[in-house]
Structures are given as C-alpha cells and as structure tokens.
Structure 1
Amino acid sequence: MRKRLTLLVAGTTLLVLLAFLIPMGVLVRQVAADRALSRADDVVQTIVPLVGAGDLNALRLTVTAQPGVTVFLPDGSVLGAPAVPTAAVRLAAARGRALTVVTDDGQELAVPVVGAGGTTVVRTLVTDAELNRGVSRAWLILAALGLTLVLLGLLVADRLARAITAPITQLSEVSHRLASADLAARAEPAGPRELREVAGALNHLAGRIQELLAAEREQIADLSHRLRTPLTALRLEAESLRDPEESARVEAAADQVARAVTAVIQQARRRDAAPAAAGCDAAAVVRDRVAFWAVLAEDTGRALRRDLPADALPVAVAADDLAAALDALLGNVFAHTPDGTALTVTLTARPGGGAILTVADEGPGFPASAARRGTSGGGSTGLGLDIARKVAVAFDTGAGDDGGAVVRLELPGS
C-alpha cells in the first residue's frame, strides 16, 4: 500500500509538472526569439535615419560597427557584411515595406528606405543560435526544478504513506498475535481518525474475548470442581463392595475420572502459557485401556478383539489425553450398540512416525449427524468423537466392510 500511494503521488506530481513545464518551455523559447528579433530591429532602426539623411560616410561607419547588417544602395553597391540581394530584399524594395522571412539559417529582416535616388534596403539576419540563446540553459533549469519537485513530492508521499501504513501494519501484527492466543496484545491508536477507531474496536474486541474466555474457564473449573463430591461418594461406595476385584475396578474407574477432572481444571485455569511438550507410549496406554474395557465387554457378551504391537510405540500425545480419546470411542461403542456386538481395537505404526489407532464395531454404524460436534442421536452430549479428534492429526469415520462403524485416528510422532 505504501508503494502504491507513493507511485500515485509521483504520477500526479509528474502530470502536474508536465502540464506546467511544457508550456513554460515553449514560452521561454518564444521570449528568447522575440528578444533577439527586438534587438535586431533596434539595430536596423538606428541605421534607417542615416540612410534617409544621405550621409554615406556616417552610414558606412555605423553599418561596419554592426555585424550581420547589410545595406543595399539603389546603385547596387553594398555596405556592411558582404551579401547578395535575397528574395526578401528584392521583395521589400519592390513593395516598399518591411519584411521578416524565415530562412534555413534563421530569420531575415529587410527594411526599405525610399529616397530621392531610389530605394535602399537595410537587411539583417538573426541566426538560430541568436534566436535560441539562453533557451537550453532555461530548459535545464526548468528540468532541474521539475526533478527536484518530483523528488520532494516522493519524499512527502513516502512520509504520508508511512503515517498511514504504519498503523495498519501494527493492526495486522496485533490481529495475528490475537489469533495466536496472545490475548494481552493491544493496538496503539495512531494515524487517521478512521484507523484510530479501528484500533479502538480491535482493543475492545480483544478485551471482550479475554473476558469471555476467563468466564468460560471459571465456569468449566467450577463445574469440574462440583464433580469431586460425587466422585468421592463413588469411591466410598466402591470400598464398601464385598467383591475385592469389583471394588478395585470401580475404584480405578473413579480414579481415572478424578484425574480427568483435575486435568480439566488445570487446563481451564491455564492462561497464556505455551503448552508443554507431551508424549507417551501409545501401545502401553491402549493396552491398559483395552484391558479396563475388556471386563465390561465380557459382562455384556461382546467379543473384544485387539491387535496391538508388542514393542513401544511413542507418540506426541499425553497419556491422559490418549486414554480419554480411546475411552470416548469405546464408550460410544458400548452406549450406542446392543449387547453382544463385537468390536476391534487396532494400533499400528504410522509411516513417518506416530501411530494409527482404529476402533471398529459390528453395530448399526454412524447416524448422518455423528460428525457434527455436540450432536448425538443417542441422548448423549455428542462430544465423544470431538474428544478423540483433538489428539489426532488426521481423523476419519466410516463404515466397515461388513457394516458397523470404523473410527481411525492418526497420532503424531514424538
């Protein structure tokens, strides 16, 4: 924008200067020619009275002192600069009036003087050099003046363009910082009134976003904190179970929910800190969560098939996040398919690093609205797939070869 504004001012200035300097140049040339002709006419007018007086000696002395002047006497003799009678001289003698004729060498003046012995013609030649004397210098001065004005206009245009573009550049930088979650970024109102208003509106928007996010964090933290009471009650109920294995399983589930609640609170209260690098062994996490859900699968008559690598498979996902994603996917299977529906959990290495986690079942498949966040056909929150989607660099849902639903997550490598 700064470059365009500078070019616009430069073009406008140049057009104005051309409209001024071209006529000025023509006028300078015309004035120089008129001045040269005026001087020549003055010289001729000083000789004419001498011709009329008939003083040949005085006439000869005067003409000799004036270079370029020739006097053609009636008897054919010539005084002054040697020359032959030109067409202008003969025409002036014949008509008896002064003439100015343009020739190849310049402009010729012929003034006739009628006396008792005949017509005497005073002739002088104003050369092109005399007609254009001082014109080149004047044109150079005008060109230098025009160039100086153009450069001055460019300097002023650049300053004005900078005064306009600098606030725009600052607004762009602040908007990018806000887009990068730097909610403390603020624009300094500067420049024209319109830009100052935009800066104020952007600052107001940033403040409003900060307030809304703070309120959302507090609401999430408060909601998560309220879950601690029923979790504590659930843990106490688990301890009162007679079956030790059943009690341990329920306590483990309660502990998992408690950890998830704690993670939600910490994340909700995190302000502008950059997320710490996280990673885990995907094989170990998936193996642990599949073992947890295997108990429920056995109780509901579901065949749970697993295809997991024996070696470690590192991924750039926190263990709690990966566990929450797999729990959400398996929870969907158990919640939205009838008892006895078989399911398969597969974990393979991803080309280039990472892992591919696939959860497939032989149930009725996904409804048309399953891919939309917050939409569920089974009375749930509809956020299960979105929880899984957040940990993946690629997420895909579809149908298996034999029907049912298939969810495929590509996890980034560490």
Structure 2
Amino acid sequence: MRARLTLLVAATASLILLAFSIPMAILLRNSAAQHAVDSAQQEGQTLVSTVSSGDRAATQAAVESYNVAGLYPVTVFWPDGSVIGVDAPRSNAVELAAAGSSITAEADGGREVLFNVNVDGRAAVIRVYVSDDQLTAGVARSWLLLGAIALLLLGFGLLLAWRLAQVILVPLHDLAAVSHRLARGDLDARADAAGPAELRNVGTALNTLADRIRELLEAERERVADLSHRLRTPLTVLRLETEALGDHAQREPVERAVADVERAVNEAIRDARNPAQAGTCDAAAVVAERVEFWSALAEDTARECRVRLAPGPLPVSLSAADLAAAMDSLLANVFAHTPDGTAFEVRLVPRYESGATVDVADEGPGLPNLGVFQRGRSEGGSTGLGLDIAGRAAAASGGQLVFGQGPGGRGALIRLELG
C-alpha cells in the first residue's frame, strides 16, 4: 500500500509539474526571443536619425562602430541600391520595409529587424540581424533551472507521500497485529490510539470489541461452571444410593461410573473457569483406559469388543482429558446408534511422522446422513455434540475426524487422526 500511495502521489505531482513546467518553458523561450528583438530594435533606432540626415560618411562611421562593439550586425540599404555595413541579401522583407514601414521578419538562421527611414523623400532601410543563438540565449540555462526546481518539488512530494504513508500504515499494521492476536485467543491484546482520527476511532472500536468478547466469554464460562456445579447434587444423591447397595459386586461398577461422572463434572468446572492450554498425552494409555471402561458395558449388552492397540508410548498433541472425552464420544456413538449384540473394534496405530490414529469400527447399520454429524444435529435423540467434540479434539491436535464404512463394506468406521 505504501508503494501504491507513493506511486499515486508521484503520478499526480508529475502531471501538475508538467502542466506548470511546459507553459513556463515556452514562456521563457518567448521572453528570451522578445528580449533579443527589443535590444536589436533599440540598436537600430539609434541609427535612424543619422541615416535620415543623408550623411553617408557619418552613417558609415556609426555602422562600423556598431558592428565592432554591438551585439547585432547592422546593414543600411540606401535608396540608390548601395549598401553600408555587413553584407546581407536584399530580401523580400527588405523590399517590403522600403515600400512601407518598419517590420520584423524571419531570415535564414535568425530574424531581421527592419526600419524604414526617409532620406530626402526616398526610403532607406536599416537592417539589424538577430541570430537563432541570440534569440535563445540563456534559455537552456533557464530550462535546466526549471527542471531542477520541478525535480526538487517532485522529490519533496514523494518524501511527503512516504511520510504520510508511514503515519497511516504503521497504525494500520498495529491494528492488524492486534486483530491477529485476538483471533489467536489473546484477549489481552489492545490497540494504541495513534494515527489519524479515523484510525484512532477504529482502534477504539477494536478495543471495545475485545472487551465485549472477554465479557461474553467470561459470562459463558460462568454459566457452564454453574451448570456443571448443579450436577453435583444429583451426583451426591447417586453416591449415597450406591453406598446403600448391599451387593458388593453390584456396587463396585456403579461406584466407578459415579466417580467417572464426578471427575468429568469437576474437569468441566475447572476448564470453564480456567481454560487449559494445549497439552500432550500418551494416546496408548488413554485409549486403553477408556476401552477398558466401555468393555464392561459391552459385556452387559452382549457386544464383542475387539481391541488392537499399538504399544506405547504414543505422544499426541492433546491433553489426556480431551482425548478421553473424544474416545468416550466415539464409543458412546456405537452404543447409541447400533442395537445390542453388535460387535465393534478399536484400533490404535502410530501415524507415519508423528501422532496416532484411532479407528472405531462397528458392524451396525452403517452411517446415516452425514449431516447428523454436524454440531447440534442428531437422529437418535441425543444432543448431537459428541462427534463434534471428537472433531474439535482432532483439529486441536493438528489432525482430523474421518467417516467411512467398516471392514468389508459393513457398518461404520470413524477415524480419529491425532497430530
């Protein structure tokens, strides 16, 4: 933008300077020519009285004096055809001056200034010759000076444009940097009120927007924390009811489930009030732990659970809590959308460069319309958030969530690629 602004000023200034310089150059040339002609007329005018007296000797002496000391060659054409002074052709302009009045006419290599002089009733002509070099004397120097002034003005205009661009663009760059920081989640980024009034207004509006975003996010986090906190009361009741169970074999799995729910609620409250930064974990350990948890439910619903997990450690760019939530959403999807007795398989393999890939395949009816995997949409009466949670977890680690068909073209395959 700085280059375009400078180029625009350069083009505008050049047009203005050309519009000023060209007429000025022509005026300087015409003025120099007129000055030379005026000087020649003054020189010739001083000879009129001498020539009109008819004294040829005095005229001869005066003409020779002018031709020696003067700037312009002088010639006198007498009525009888004789010539005094510098040898010059008797041109048509001389004949016209002899028949009429004083004139100035073009001649070879310059101009001739002609005076009609009455000598005893007959017309003599005084010719003063001005060469082209004399007509343009000093013009080249004036043009050079005019060009130098134009270049100086153009340079000053470019310098002013460069400075103006800096005054405008530096605050613009700062505003862009603050916008990028806000887009990356740095809500402490604020713009400085600098530059022209319009840019200061934009900076103030951007700061107001950042403050509003912070307020909305804080309010949203508090609402999530409050909602999670409300779950603690029914969890407490559920724990008390579990402890009242007399059969230890029945009580133990229920207690583990209640503990898992309580852990999830506590993590939700903590994450809502103190959003965690991206972390890392061992995918092998997390996936194994969540598969073990869901295996108990698989036994209760007569599902065959096949597990093929690569040995760890398999580090991925995702926190253990986020990966556990993603795995829970994938496995819960199998239980929610396939009938009891449907077999499923969980595979964990390392990726080529880094990270890991988790496949959850089932032998159910297959994938419904892929639109159900959009956030908030579901055809099974659920919230429609589970697979979106897995997708966002994959994206946060630098991977992606892929949908396909299970082995042999049967059922569904959901692949969680983690970076």
Same fold (TM over 0.5): yes
1:172-206 deviation per Cα after TM superposition (whole angstroms, max 9, x unaligned) = 22211111111122223344444333333222221
Q: Which residue of 2 aligns with 1:292?
A: 293
Contact 1:88–1:101 (CA under 8 A) maintained in structure 2: no
Q: Which residue of 2 aligns with 1:199?
A: 203
* Mapping for residues 11-410 of structure 1, pairs under 5 Å: 11-67=11-67, 68-81=73-86, 83-88=87-92, 91-92=95-96, 95-116=99-120, 119-270=123-274, 275-280=277-282, 282-368=283-369, 369-392=371-394, 393-400=399-406, 401-410=408-417
State the distance in 2 between where 1:186 and 1:317 align.
29
Taking only the aligned residue pairs, the percentage that are identical comes to 53
Per-residue deviation, 1:245: 4.2
Bigger mean CA deviation after superposition, 152-161 or 140-149: 152-161
State the distance in 2 between where 1:311 and 1:145 align.
78
Per-residue deviation, 1:250: 2.4
Secondary structure of 2:187's match?
A: coil
List runs of 5+ in structure 2 lacking aligned partners. Answer: 68-72
Letter in 2 for 1:362: E
State the distance in 2 between where 1:89 and 1:211 align.
96
State the distance in 1 between where 2:342 and 2:279 align.
38
Secondary structure of 1:110's match?
A: strand
Letter in 2 for 1:234: L
Per-residue deviation, 1:151: 1.8
Change (3 A) 1:261 1:19: same
Per-residue deviation, 1:88: 4.1
Letter in 1 for 2:110: G
State the distance in 2 between where 1:263 and 1:364 align.
34
Contact 1:96–1:113 (CA under 8 A) maintained in structure 2: no
Letter in 1 for 2:54: G
Letter in 2 for 1:57: A
Letter in 2 for 1:224: S
TM-score computed with the length of structure 1 as normaliser: 0.90
Per-residue deviation, 1:276: 4.9
List runs of 5+ in structure 1 lacking aligned partners. Answer: none
Change (3 A) 1:335 1:93: closer
Per-residue deviation, 1:162: 2.9
1:371-411 deviation per Cα after TM superposition (whole angstroms, max 9, x unaligned) = 11011222221111112112221101233244322211111
Contact 2:359–2:414 (CA under 8 A) maintained in structure 1: yes
1:89-134 deviation per Cα after TM superposition (whole angstroms, max 9, x unaligned) = 6524752433433223211223343423954332221011111112
Bigger mean CA deviation after superposition, 233-242 or 52-61: 233-242
Q: Which residue of 1 aligns with 2:70?
A: none
State the distance in 2 between where 1:355 and 1:130 align.
92
Secondary structure of 2:323's match?
A: helix
State the distance in 1 between where 2:169 and 2:127 align.
68
What is the Cα-based RMSD across aligned positions, in Å? 2.3
Letter in 2 for 1:49: S
1:244-283 deviation per Cα after TM superposition (whole angstroms, max 9, x unaligned) = 3443322222222222222222221126x7x153221x22
Change (3 A) 1:176 1:38: same
State the distance in 2 between where 1:243 and 1:327 align.
28
Letter in 2 for 1:324: A
Per-residue deviation, 1:296: 1.4
Contact 2:114–2:125 (CA under 8 A) maintained in structure 1: yes
Change (3 A) 1:341 1:228: same
State the distance in 2 between where 1:194 and 1:84 align.
75
Letter in 2 for 1:35: H
State the distance in 2 between where 1:383 and 1:49 align.
117
1:211-231 deviation per Cα after TM superposition (whole angstroms, max 9, x unaligned) = 110001111112222223333
Change (3 A) 1:104 1:277: farther
Bigger mean CA deviation after superposition, 182-191 or 63-72: 182-191
State the distance in 2 between where 1:279 and 1:160 align.
52
Change (3 A) 1:112 1:338: same
Per-residue deviation, 1:39: 0.9
Contact 2:367–2:412 (CA under 8 A) maintained in structure 1: yes
